[in-house]
Amino acid sequence: MSFMANQTQALWQSFMPRLKEIKNSVGSELYSVEVYPSPEFFRNFNPAGEFEKWAAVQVTNFDSVPAEMETLVIPEGLYAVFTYKGKASDGVSTYQYIYGTWIPDSAYNLDNRPHFALMGEKYRNEDPASEEELWIPITHK
């Protein structure tokens, strides 16, 4: 998908009804994962630029993957973790700050690993009191 042709709602609408098919999930947290083609994706940002987006849960193993679902391994590494509070649809300014100000002004560069939002028990989607963690892969400059 792309930011211009955002299919996030359709992705989650297709995933959530099948959540109970995943028998070996760990916890109740949900993960919204983005896999960008390179760290340059945000430096030369184009809203039509395509990337992979995943609706996911953590599992103990890949022994029983439901039909038509795929697996993704998120490699270990250093992450900057931000707590976002507010409606999911209002998160754009937070991401703009992270990629446009925080990363350039920090001692870090973006790393070429998946980015993800961890949506735990305080996540409420469009509720202004909703909370989620934004995990941004980084490396030291």
Q: pLDDT 10s per residue in the chain (141 long)?
A: 999 999 999 999 999 999 999 999 999 999 999 999 998 898 888 999 999 999 999 999 999 899 999 999 999 999 999 999 999 889 999 999 999 999 999 999 999 999 999 999 999 989 999 999 999 999 999
In a domain, 1, yes or no: no
**Residue among 41, 24, 35 nearest 75 (CA):** 35
**For the chain, how many structural domains are there in total?**
1
In a domain, 3, yes or no: no
Query: Which residue reads 């980084």 in tokens?
Result: 138
CA gap 136, 77 in Å, rounded: 10
In a domain, 69, yes or no: yes
Q: Domain with 77 in it: what CATH number? A: 3.20.80.10
For 85-106, the pLDDT digits (tens) are 999 889 999 999 999 999 999 9
In a domain, 2, yes or no: no
- How does DSSP assign 97-120, residue by residue? HIIIIIHHHSSEEE-SS-EEEEE-
Identity of the amino acid at 70: E
- Which residues span the domain enclosing 133? 8-140
In a domain, 113, yes or no: yes
Q: List the Cα angle 136/129/19 in 5-degree steps.
A: 65
In a domain, 80, yes or no: yes
In a domain, 38, yes or no: yes
In a domain, 57, yes or no: yes
Threshold 0.85, pTM exceeds: yes
**Residue among 83, 86, 93 nearest 136 (CA):** 83
For 39, counting Cβ atoms within 10 Å of its Cβ (0-12 exposed, 13-18 middle, 19+ buried), the class is middle
On whether the CB atoms of residues 8 and 53 are closer than 8 A, the answer is yes
